[in-house]
Structure 1
Amino acid sequence: MRTILRLLVAAILITASPGPDNLLVLSMGVSKGRKRGIIFGLGCAIGCLSHTVLAVIGVSTMIAASPAAFTALKVAGGLYLIWLAINAFRSRGCAKVETVPAGEEALAKLFFKGIFANAINPKVVLFFLSFLPQFITPSNGNVGWQMAALGVAFTAQAAVLFGLLGYFSGSIGQWLNAKPRAGMILDSIAGAVFVALGLRLIVSR
């Protein structure tokens, strides 16, 4: 229990600090509304489970050791973010909080977009590979199960923080409902954020 608490303190500080995931959730919540911001944020958090699995089975080590695999994953992640940017530019402020149909299918798609956006980020893969082992105690038993439990704890706190971020950023989107031009500008800003993050992911070393 003490190990989990230490991990949660460190994880909350890391998750709350400015970073790509925070900007993605904030942009989604502001431009698309509170509910969509929360759903996308929860998707991003759940995406952490994929990195936990990779860390447990050791695939992350292979990715870190293979420049070609790492480069391919970076390019794929960057292209996906740029694709999100294209969608933001094309929407041109059309989305309106409370007036846009928000059926289960639309929300489910947004949730899985959040999962995918997080899961394909190679920097998060490497982060989990270097972060989780710091809280492992071999004398406590199966290392794989310990790492899995720590990964689930990290995911849980990320879900809470991203959900809160989506909730409060969504309130800004509600304020912009009656301002179509402002919504268009906001979509353009969100698209620019996605482009910047995507290009940064592709060209970073």
Structure 2
Amino acid sequence: MIPLNELLIFAAASLLLVLTPGPNMLYLISRSICQGRKAGVVSLVGVVAGFFVHLFAAAAGLTAVFLAVPMAYEVLKWAGALYLLWLAWQAVKPGARSPFEAQQLPPDSTRKLVTMGFLTSALNPKIAVFYLSVFPQFITPEHGSVFTQSLMLGFTQISVSFMVNLLISLFAATIAGWFINNPTWLSVQRYFMGFVLAALAVRLMLEQRRSA
């Protein structure tokens, strides 16, 4: 069983993940602004379904890695830290765009909205790398089944992502308008996010190797 404090830290990392601009956020915001809240929520159903592809693939793969190649933990740890540093740079680099600059999308049917949401999520490299590099840092074989721990972390990430993306889908137009009128806060948000992501990367780099 994963300790509560570790689970809360992972939930915070998942929150940072969903707040970091990526394909899912851009698609949901653009869809909500161009076609309305209902279309955004319908698209979110597909996005959440796509998360399960990453979840079960990672759960099965990580179980095999921890059992067969314990030293792979170190590789995954450094890959996760470097990925978080890359996300931090993406948040603060000069010319970084706001995810609330929506793209113009034509109206689509409910079936296509779900399908596009699913494909956007299932093929999202940001989610894939998160599951493969950050995920393992919160799994300790001595706490029980690696597969069960993976499922627990996965459902935590999906729950956090669903709640945040639901709010984004419902209030995309309002949030976008507020940031347009308050550009300073957009910069503050970007730098704060970058700082927290970098801090989490340092934490991973200092983490001691966990024995099986």
Q: TM-score range by the shorter chain?
A: 0.5 to 0.7
Partners of 1:108 and 1:84 lie apart in 2 by: 18
- Where in structure 2 are the equivalents of 1:1-205 lying within 5 Å? 14=7, 18-28=11-21, 35=28, 46-55=53-62, 58-63=64-69, 65-66=70-71, 69-90=72-93, 94-97=97-100, 99-101=101-103, 111-121=124-134, 122-124=136-138, 126-127=139-140, 130-132=143-145, 155=154, 158-168=157-167, 171=171, 173-174=175-176, 175-205=178-208
Q: What's the TM-score, normalizing by structure 1?
A: 0.60
Give CA deviations for 1:116-165 in whole Å, capped at 9, x if unaligned.
112212224x35884546xxxxxxxxxxxxx69x9678746743442112
Measure how far apart 1:60 and its partner are.
Answer: 1.7
2:18 and 2:165 in contact (8 A); partners too: yes
Unpaired runs of at least 5, structure 2: 30-43, 106-115
1:93 and 1:186 in contact (8 A); partners too: no
Give CA deviations for 1:13-51 in whole Å, capped at 9, x if unaligned.
x5797432233224559xx67936x69887766533233
Partners of 2:152 and 2:61 lie apart in 1 by: 16
1:94 and 1:180 in contact (8 A); partners too: no
User: What's the C-alpha RMSD, in Å, of the aligned pairs?
Assistant: 4.4
Partners of 2:198 and 2:49 lie apart in 1 by: 22
Measure how far apart 1:76 and its partner are.
Answer: 1.0
Identity of aligned residues (%): 18
Unpaired runs of at least 5, structure 1: 1-6, 134-146
Measure how far apart 1:94 and its partner are.
Answer: 3.2
Partners of 1:199 and 1:44 lie apart in 2 by: 26
Partners of 1:130 and 1:26 lie apart in 2 by: 29
Return 158-167 or 16-25, whichever deviates more.
Answer: 16-25
2:181 aligns to what SS in structure 1? coil
2:15 and 2:160 in contact (8 A); partners too: no
